[in-house]
Amino acid sequence: MKLWIAAAFIGAAVSGCSGNNNSANADVSNLPEGITLIESVNSNPGGLVIPYEKYQLDNGLTVILAADNSDPLVHVDVTYHVGSAREQAGRSGFAHLFEHMMFQGSKHVGDDQHFKIVTEAGGTMNGTTNSDRTNYFETVPKNQLEKMLWLESDRMGFLLPAITSEKFEVQRETVKNERDQRIDNRPYGRMGERTAAALYPEGHPYSWPVIGWPADLDAAQVDDVRQFFARWYGPNNATLTIGGDFERAQALAWVSKYFGSIPRGPEVNAQPKTMVTLDADRYISMEDKVHLPLLMINMPTVYAQHEDEAALDLLAGIIGGGKTSLLYKNLVKSGAAVQAAANHPCRELACTFTFYALANPAVSPKLADMETAIRNSIKEFEQRGVSDDDLLKAKVQFRSSTIFGLQSVSGKVSKLAYNQTFFDNPNLIQTELDRYDSVTKQDVMRVFEKYIKDKPMVLMSVVPEGATSLVAKADNFEIPQPLVATGAHAKPVAQADIKDNFDRSIMPPAGDNPQLTVPSLWSSKLDNGIDVMGTQSSETPTTEILVYFEGGHRLESLEQAGVASLTAAMLSEDSQQRTAEELTLALEKLGSSVSFSAGTTNSTLRVSSLTENLDATLAIVQERLYQPRFAKDDFARLQQQTLQGLQHNQTDPNWMARTAEARIFYGDNNIMGIPSSGTMDTVSKMTVKQVQQFYAEQYQAAKAKVVIVSDLSQAAIAPKLKFLNDWQGGEPVQLTPMTLPKLAGGTLYLVDKPGATQSVVSLFKRAMPFDATGEYFKARLMNYPLGGAFNSRINMNLREDKGYTYGARSGFAGNQEVGKFSAGASVRTETTAASITEFVNEIRGFYDAGIQPDELSFMRSSIAQGQALRYETAYQKAGFIRQIQKYQLPLDYIDQQANIIANISKLEIDALAKEQLNVDDMVIIVVGDKSVIQESLQPLGFTIKEMQL
């Protein structure tokens, strides 16, 4: 869908075309009974708008249609205005638990069939919960729209009959696994919920975590969940938004058919927006399995859409938003902190002004010093005030991020649904832009005086275990214990009887398969031999350029592991003409980003720009790429940050598992067996001269290839690449073939992480390198029903049936040189051995019996139809182009893959399983608490070796 944007810029500001609410111009003569048109928003000069129509059903359901025929897909979103803020104290976690329950089947949709149906249709789906809303969404080929509406309506109107105690128990365990994985087993994971409990008054809807307190989850009963659904999940508390390629009259007819008979739920009133205040500074702290001490400061401010929100957002950017901010200058640039920033996140009922600093233990480990530096930065802002550049960069960055966020139909739908749910007006994009544009220097100073200067704070210190001397100040506030629910549990609730004139048990058929729209590509070669490949995409007035340099981590020597990443970081620092702060400010005023990174097989330069500012952006690219300063003070700071980051990584169980796997897979004498960030030894010995040498070797025209996705044509963008055309020198990469160690199949390597609440389990073996149409591609098809989809054998067993994990997967990955099969999950500590057994049984079962006919049909349908979703956004298009370019694929390789998908036989897939899935060839890694799990691992029959990282 094209946004209505005029391609004119005044200075660095975007202007465009705005919507016009005009119901009179819409055709209301053929609306289905029970549906009322509320407004029709089209285009008018003056702003930016997503064209849409808004309707309401008699039962209160709000429906938003945003037609877009640029891609053969539709995105369906159902947002319920209920999150954890609607819960009662002592009954926390219900909204999030319900997000899980809503995928477990309904009266006319079988258990676990929601995922299967959507995936088989070639779609993607998910649900999310936050404090204020829960949403469910699917992106599918356009011929699957009716089926999605049938699914969403069935769980809105017919969920209660399918809620059983068994399903409830499984999902309760799944949520506990999620909490373990995202909170309890993650560094700093419990910081947010402790801060919230100290910031908000006891019983405030934001004082408990969205995922819920463990005790509340344990105490919940199935009838409590039923009552929560009956109270909040009625159509009058929901917004259904459909975006994409559909026919309006047909979509409304389906909406009427599937949702019209669902009865209205209890009335829902807006929650009070009571301003939160603190009486004094509250110091709290916690010890955690971390390396870097962290100080988090929170101050209560306003609420979403408050008249002061925009000015507070801009204030946060000035004090702590990136390299031009005061916090960066005073804490990060000085080396005292590894990271430091400020922001102003807002929710429906409350916003917070937040500062944080990750202390550098080698320079200033005490969080009291971080507190002093932050307070001094606040005072410095008061003295220096607000500059013209401060306002301009903040406003342009807001405009740029808004436009880039609307490149996909899902991005547009999400914006419409959010604005309708919370503000009863989908058409707020231009209003928001105007709101930020109108902020003055006086506004920023006014909100600073009102909400920040000398105002009480919650100061949260997170320090390594045993290092309480590093806290900012001794605790002076005791976090209240979670409230216990009062009264009895809920009584059984029955869902209202719904009368339909059709049989809901019959799943709607799909329409005709859509025509696949593969991007139309162009290619050229610059005078210096650089290959350029691109496509024109008119979705938004933006340009994405990626320059790939072959080499990356693979190009390093063992003694200089990490030099590629450190070189990329240095290229974002000072140039020979300007400082990093001056360059960053110039980019911020353009609404552009220029970043360097290094991966395993290449280094990358990525440019994202509003097209009207592309020339000025590319001038900065040229300066950064060709004229890096490589200043010693920049190098020393980045080297120290890298070293601290490496020590921090050693507290992350997933990083530990990946590191152990790479070392075993590639061996001790292979650069690929070492993390791309390097090691403490290699980084600590690195010099500026080595970085300069790597830059000279890596960033050469002979190693570069360019990918472009822009609203400009090839003819229009070609002249803008002149600065690359004049670039000379270098040689293509000539890689020495890797010597790989023999893997000791049947060996279990145990990496101890004392106190871990989960174990990270991984099974892997060597496999074939990448190909687009050969055995590698076919092996990925083979794995799809085993562990490549949500409803695969592995995930359904370990997550849905056993409740051991939040998610389990398997798959093939590879590059030009080597490939790997792996399967893994983070599992509850007490289920570590049982989880390994289930992995082994599932893989062995597939190895022995092969794919089932229904799985073969499912795989074909899912992957073939899913092609329609592959090329929507600019970045997706760039990835598609890069694959062709990197592996020199024929332009019709997608057609070749489609032919393979349609014709691959069970015999061929079973033969691949026999070749690739022999469990006896696989190595197992477990990262977990050795004292808890070691004894249970012994009976599994593997050779167990302890491994130190």
Q: Is residue 45 part of a domain?
A: no
Instruction: Judge contact between 98 and 220, C-beta under 8 A.
Output: no
Instruction: Judge contact between 794 and 805, C-beta under 8 A.
Output: no
- Predicted confidence at residue 26, as pLDDT, reads 55
Q: Is residue 265 part of a domain?
A: no
Residue 818 and residue 835: Cα distance in Å, rounded? 28
Instruction: Judge contact between 537 and 712, C-beta under 8 A.
Output: no
Same domain, 162 and 310: no
Structure-token pair, residue 576:
């020979």
Residue 673 and residue 269: Cα distance in Å, rounded? 57
CA atoms within 13 A on the CB side of 177: 27
Q: Is residue 337 part of a domain?
A: yes
Q: Is residue 3 part of a domain?
A: no
Same domain, 677 and 766: no
46: left (phi over 0), alpha (psi -120 to 50) or beta: left
Q: Is residue 608 part of a domain?
A: yes
Q: Is residue 484 part of a domain?
A: no
CATH number at residue 203: 3.30.830.10
465: left (phi over 0), alpha (psi -120 to 50) or beta: beta
Within 10 angstroms of residue 761's Cβ, the number of other Cβ atoms is: 27
Structure-token pair, residue 747:
């060996």
Does the predicted TM-score (pTM) go above 0.75? Answer: yes
Q: Which range of residues forms the domain containing residue 914?
A: 747-946
Tell me the per-residue pLDDT of 386-425, one tens digit each, with 9 for 90 and over.
Answer: 999 999 998 898 999 999 988 889 999 999 999 999 999 9
Same domain, 209 and 355: no
CA atoms within 13 A on the CB side of 863: 26
Same domain, 247 and 152: yes
Instruction: Judge contact between 207 and 352, C-beta under 8 A.
Output: no
- Predicted confidence at residue 492, as pLDDT, reads 73
Tell me the per-residue pLDDT of 794-853, one tens digit each, with 9 for 90 and over.
Answer: 999 999 899 999 999 999 999 999 999 999 999 999 999 999 999 999 999 999 999 999
Name the phi and psi angles at 570, rounded to 5: -65, -30
Same domain, 101 and 249: yes
Same domain, 302 and 187: no
Instruction: Judge contact between 890 and 896, C-beta under 8 A.
Output: yes
Instruction: Judge contact between 573 and 625, C-beta under 8 A.
Output: no
Same domain, 751 and 721: no
Q: Is residue 509 part of a domain?
A: no
- Predicted confidence at residue 10, as pLDDT, reads 25
Same domain, 226 and 151: yes
15: left (phi over 0), alpha (psi -120 to 50) or beta: beta
Residue 263 and residue 499: Cα distance in Å, rounded? 10
Domain boundary, last residue among 694, 725, 756: 725
* Stretch (H or E) spanning 765: strand 758-767
- Predicted confidence at residue 3, as pLDDT, reads 44
Domain boundary, last residue among 470, 498, 529: 470
The angle subtended at Cα 387 by Cα 381 and Cα 388, nearest 5°, is 155
First to last CA, the chain: 50
Same domain, 116 and 197: yes
Find where tokens 């810029």 sit: 9
Domain boundary, last residue among 244, 259, 274: 259
| Residue 100 CA to its chain's centroid (Å) | 19
- Predicted confidence at residue 89, as pLDDT, reads 82
Contacts of residue 668, Cβ cutoff 8 Å, sequence gap at least 6: none
Residue 848 and residue 501: Cα distance in Å, rounded? 48
The DSSP letter of residue 575 is: B
Same domain, 650 and 586: yes
Torsion of CA 642, 644, 650, 651, to 10 degrees: -130
Same domain, 782 and 848: yes
What residues of the chain score a pLDDT lower than 50? 1-24
Residue 361 and residue 643: Cα distance in Å, rounded? 10
Instruction: Judge contact between 744 and 918, C-beta under 8 A.
Output: no
Instruction: Judge contact between 918 and 746, C-beta under 8 A.
Output: no
The DSSP letter of residue 700 is: -
Contacts of residue 61, Cβ cutoff 8 Å, sequence gap at least 6: 235, 236, 238, 239, 240, 259, 262
Percentage of the chain beyond pLDDT 90 is 80
User: CA nearest 552: which of 347, 387, 346, 697?
Assistant: 697
Total domains, the chain: 4
- Predicted confidence at residue 517, as pLDDT, reads 74
| Residue at 493: amino acid letter | V
Same domain, 670 and 572: yes
Q: Is residue 267 part of a domain?
A: no
